[in-house]
Structure 1
Amino acid sequence: MDAAGEFLPFHSGRIVVIPGGRPHAFRVDFAPEALTARGVLARISECFASNDTPILSLHVTGRPGEPFWAFIACEPPDSKAVERIRECLAKTPYVKGVEHSPPVIEGVAVDAWGFPPLLGGIRAVIFREPVLREFLLYGWRHMGTGFGYILYHTFFDSGAAMHREFYSRLARRREDQARLLEHVFRLTGYGVLEVAEFTDWRFAARVYDSVECKHLGEIEEAESMMIRGLLAGFVAASWGVGREGVEPRETKCIKRGDPYCEFVITRRV
């Protein structure tokens, strides 16, 4: 089993689909003190359990200085249970307010309150893999290597900005930044990243199940430029250099039949 097989898929969209069912959604607003209080979610869960209602999805959002709230999707047995749950939630300690949203269509409940999605405190845009696939294929087919340069430089700037604005603020040690990068890279869907080496002069990493390279096989001149740029920007910012200060290479690629993509970035003297 490769590294990609060690993880479990998860649903990032706040949409719950129960074919033939009647899923509902609740928004629960908490007082700031709830962020560090004990037993709050246990009390919340009891409101649903005591009304014979399973919780289908639970997302808690917030950090110091931001709104602290929860999106909860469930399937209550009837409208009376919905009202009892609402009343129970409103009486729970640290809860400031409760809102309810019925199914938007049969069998579907959605988060009717959340916007915008955030990644590292910055607005994010989520789109499905087929959109990225068509974007990559169209660009390489019609623009060739020029499209690759656009990808590289765009994602280089993105990787550098993420290092400055996110990774370096949460972790000072290079080793900790690398571990954080591995997790964020995986959770945002690029692939499964393993950083093997990260020194003052050299960075080496493997990417399993690359969302970029898996779609480039039919285009001969295409190569990883999006992920290469992202990693190069991150590394360059860590070293305090610009584009000309790094030399990134993809030494292995699933497009060529390798089990993973391998990126080696060296520092130019």
Structure 2
Amino acid sequence: MKTVKSLDIGHTVKLADGQPVGIFITYKPEALQMLGVLKETLEHIAESELPVVHLLTSLPSPGQILCGYVIVDAAGKEDKIKQLIRKIKKLEYVEDVEVYYPSKSGMLTATPFDVLKVSGMRGMVWVKPMFKAFIRTFQEMVGTGGSAIIYNMGYIIGKEAFHEHMKIAGSDKREALEVSRNFFKASGLGSVEFRHIDVKKGKAIVRVYNSFECELFPNIGRPASQFIRGIVAGWISALLEKEVETRETKCLAKGDPFCEYVIRAVDNSASF
């Protein structure tokens, strides 16, 4: 079985026997074209004998400032933090340095970032409990029609996203599918595999592994995907330039190892 690689983007750090301290470094725009910028910064940290427990850098953009956030374990070496900051501030490509200390409980929860972006677009993070509460509360309040509304929300989002991805892909539809697949994965919704696409016949089979949505409903014995099923259907609809129907034939929620969707254009006479 393939190992699932996960990325924890949280900034909350608590060390059993340590003291996490966050160092937020703002680099000048020209640092992007300079060699050894990160190397020199980390060398100063290593010389201070402060173990790095977390390292995060912003996506570089030419002409814009660069940001780096380093969390070190300063247990028993608190005095070295101020010395380190002075050294880093002296580097020619550094514009500013901020320090974040843990609370009395020893947990570092502060984040230096005011806005979260994904590939230049404003974003937000929904952790599993939040998404689960949203989906279940919505379905309970709206009733049986709730699932249809969630599906249609996904469908519209999928179509709009595909049109944006077409711009990125230079109007190449196959490339736009790849962009959609990569953005979907990067957003934490799961991993997509396009098993079969027949544009002429208006049919497609798509699999989603590690579905964020369907993991909310383990072992309920029936397909549970609405939102993600809608997104995938929206992609294929935009690809075919036709409205589509979608049926989930396999689902994590009923014990299958992945979710699978069979999609066809509504004006196509072929049956599922």
SS at match of 1:210: coil
Secondary structure of 1:63's aligned partner: coil
Q: Counterpart of 1:102?
A: 101
C-alpha change, 1:135 and 1:218, in structure 2 (3 Å) is farther
Q: Structure 1 residues 69 and 214 mapped into 2: Cα distance closer, same or farther (>3 Å)?
A: closer
Query: 1:204 aligns to what?
Result: 205
Q: Distance in 2 between matches of 1:218 and 1:253?
A: 10
Pairwise CA distance, 1:48: 0.5
Equivalent residue pairs, number? 262
CA contact (8 A) 1:159 1:232 kept: yes
Q: Could you say what secondary structure the match of 2:9 adopts? A: coil
Distance across 1 between alignment mates of 2:206 and 2:168: 21
Q: Which has the higher contact order (CA 8 A, sep 6+)?
A: 1
**1:258 pairs with one of 241, 256, 268:** 256
Whether contact under 8 Å (2:223, 2:254) holds in the other structure is: no
State the percentage of identical aligned residues.
Answer: 26
State the AA in 2 paired with 1:51.
S
| Secondary structure in structure 2 of the residue aligned to 1:6 | coil
Kindly state the Cα deviation for residue 222 of structure 1 after the two structures are TM-superposed. 6.6
Alpha-carbon separation, structure 2, partners of 1:218 and 1:144:
21
Aligned to 1:237: 238
| Alignment of 1:13 onto 2:10 | yes
- Unaligned stretches of 5+ residues in structure 2: 268-272
CA 1:212/1:28 → structure 2, altered by over 3 Å: closer, same or farther?
same
Alignment of 1:185-224 (within 5 A): 185-200=184-199, 201-216=202-217, 223-224=224-225
Task: Report the residue type matching 2:196 in the other structure.
Answer: E
Q: Distance in 2 between matches of 1:93 and 1:71?
A: 18
Deviation at 1:73, TM superposition (A): 0.9
The question of whether the paired residues in 2 share the 8 Å contact of 1:144 and 1:222 is answered with no
Secondary structure of the residue aligned to 1:113 is coil
The CA deviation at 1:218 is 7.0
Distance 2:222 2:193 in 1: 26
**2:62 alignment counterpart:** 64
* Residue aligning to 2:116: 117
Aligned equivalent of 2:52:
55
Distance 1:187 1:264 in 2: 23
Please report the TM-score for the alignment, with normalisation by the length of structure 2: 0.84
Deviation of 1:35 (Å): 1.9
SS of aligned partner of 2:249: strand
Q: Which residue of 1 aligns with 2:244?
A: 246
Distance 2:218 2:71 in 1: 40
Residues 1:92 and 2:91 aligned together: yes
Q: Per the alignment, do residues 238 and 105 of structure 1 end up closer, same or farther by CA in structure 2, a change over 3 Å counting?
A: farther
Q: How many angstroms does 1:18 deviate by?
A: 1.3
Distance apart, 1:66 and its partner CA = 4.0
**1:35 aligned to 2:36?**
no
Distance 2:34 2:96 in 1: 17
Is 1:253–1:260's contact at 8 Å kept on the other side of the alignment?
A: yes
- Counterpart AA for 1:68: L
The residue matched to 1:106 in structure 2 has which SS?
coil
Q: Does 1:24 align with 2:21?
A: yes
Change (3 A) 1:261 1:220: closer
- Distance (whole Å) between structure 1 residues aligned to residue 217 and residue 140 of structure 2: 10
Q: Which stretch of structure 1 is more off in the superposition, 12-21 or 136-145?
A: 136-145
CA deviation profile, 1:96-151 (whole Å, cap 9, x unmatched): 11111122343322453202111233322212212222333333344333111111
Q: Could you tell me whether the CA contact under 8 Å between 2:209 and 2:259 is conserved in 1?
A: yes
8 Å Cα contact 1:141/1:219 also seen in 2: no
Distance (Å, rounded) in 1 between the aligned partners of 2:173 and 2:198: 8
CA RMSD of aligned residues (A): 2.5
Determine if contact 1:22/1:106 at 8 Å carries over to the other structure.
no
Counterpart Cα distance in 2 of 1:199 and 1:29: 49
Determine the structure 1 residue equivalent to 2:167. 169
